[in-house]
């Protein structure tokens, strides 16, 4: 049995879908605070179990019979709360005799113990000390966080994609690719003790503009900060913090990461209304 925590979230749902595609549904369980949120997956054969990061007993019950558990990182923003939630999952997994715990960490968490990576760094230490067989997948920023309907809508309306990233590269990956990588790690052998640094196909905002009909790119003054992407993310890109590249995601997928053109094509095919 494979149990996915946080399975009603955007990433968790995609992991469930990939697991269902990779094997029999009877092997898959979802651990969520509100089981009704996954009625559609329950109808497809997923065992939906109630579990709350703030209720350790519910976690132990949800992990009963689990061979592998995916810990999708807590949505809590406060590092201390997130670490508390992750500790509860690790302890419950150990109490339930889980064979392997897979954790969705963040790129750079192995070396940077502060800021965006603080809780992830602490959780990776928890995993090392837990005595459990573990696998860590360090995800980058989601492509969907940068290539937003709001950004495309504004560019198509004005004919200009104005960004403050200075043409620096981004190593983002789509949620779908990261979910598939996590699902493959859960079902395959040979990942015990491994840590994967995942990055997607590098892209730039000038390349994004070239994919939009009638749109040109303009380097804007950072004070302008065009809508569509949070300010702090743009500053990270300008500093070159998102240009690291690895081959791990492609190796896990057995194919290249989804290119930017595919993401843009899918967005343009869908309504761009708010």
CATH code (residue 100): 3.40.50.720
How many whole angstroms separate alpha carbon 252 and alpha carbon 102?
14
Query: Is 178 contained in some domain?
Result: no
pLDDT of res. 167:
87
Q: Is 254 left (phi over 0), alpha (psi -120 to 50) or beta?
A: left
Q: For 55-76, how does the pLDDT look when each residue is reduced to its tens digit (9 = 90+)? A: 999 999 999 999 999 999 999 8
Query: Is 181 contained in some domain?
Result: no
pLDDT of res. 181:
98
Query: Is 274 contained in some domain?
Result: no
Neighbour-count burial for 206-234, b at 16+ CB within 10 Å, e otherwise? ebbbebbeebebeebeeeebbebbeeebb
Q: What is the mean pLDDT of residues 155-184?
A: 94
- Check whether residue 117 and residue 154 sit in a common domain: no
Contact residues for 123 (Cβ-Cβ < 8 A; gap 6+): 73, 82, 83, 86, 87, 90, 103, 105, 109
CATH number (domain holding residue 263): 3.90.25.10
Domain total in the chain: 2
Q: For 74-95, how does the pLDDT look when each residue is reduced to its tens digit (9 = 90+)? A: 998 899 999 999 999 999 999 9
Query: Is 47 contained in some domain?
Result: yes
- Check whether residue 74 and residue 95 sit in a common domain: yes
Percentage of the chain lying above the pLDDT 70 cut? 96
Q: For 106-154, how does the pLDDT look when each residue is reduced to its tens digit (9 = 90+)? A: 999 999 888 889 999 999 999 999 999 999 999 999 999 999 888 899 8
- Check whether residue 47 and residue 60 sit in a common domain: yes
Q: For 181-240, how does the pLDDT look when each residue is reduced to its tens digit (9 = 90+)? A: 999 999 999 999 999 999 999 999 999 999 999 999 998 887 776 666 677 788 889 999
Q: What range defines the domain where residue 222 resides?
A: 143-171+200-244+255-269
Specify the pTM: 0.94
- Check whether residue 147 and residue 135 sit in a common domain: no
- Check whether residue 118 and residue 44 sit in a common domain: yes
């Amino acid at each position: 049995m494979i149990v996915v925590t946080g399975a009603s979230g955007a990433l968790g749902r995609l992991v469930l879908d990939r697991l269902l595609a990779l094997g029999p549904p009877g092997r898959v369980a979802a651990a969520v605070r509100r089981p009704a949120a996954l009625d559609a997956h329950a109808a497809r054969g997923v065992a939906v179990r109630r579990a709350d990061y703030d209720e350790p007993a519910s976690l132990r019950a949800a992990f009963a019979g689990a061979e592998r558990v995916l810990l999708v990182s807590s949505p809590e923003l406060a590092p201390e709360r997130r670490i508390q939630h992750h500790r509860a999952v690790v302890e419950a997994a150990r109490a339930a005799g889980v064979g392997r715990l897979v954790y969705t960490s963040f790129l750079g968490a192995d070396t940077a113990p502060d800021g965006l990576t603080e809780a992830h760094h602490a959780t990776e230490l928890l995993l090392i000390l837990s005595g459990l067989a573990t696998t860590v997948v360090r995800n980058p920023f989601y492509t969907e966080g940068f290539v937003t309907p709001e950004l495309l809508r504004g560019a198509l309306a004005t004919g200009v994609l104005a960004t403050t990233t200075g043409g620096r590269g981004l190593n983002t990956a789509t949620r779908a690719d990261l979910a598939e990588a996590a699902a493959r790690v859960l079902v395959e052998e040979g990942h015990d003790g491994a840590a994967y640094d995942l990055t997607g196909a590098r892209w730039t905002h000038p390349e994004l503009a070239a994919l939009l009909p009638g749109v040109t790119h303009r380097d804007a003054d950072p004070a302008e900060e065009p809508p569509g992407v949070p300010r702090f993310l743009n500053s990270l890109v300008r500093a070159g913090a998102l240009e690291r590249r690895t081959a791990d995601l492609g190796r896990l997928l057995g194919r290249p990461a989804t290119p930017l053109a595919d993401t843009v094509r899918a967005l343009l095919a869908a309504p761009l209304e708010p």
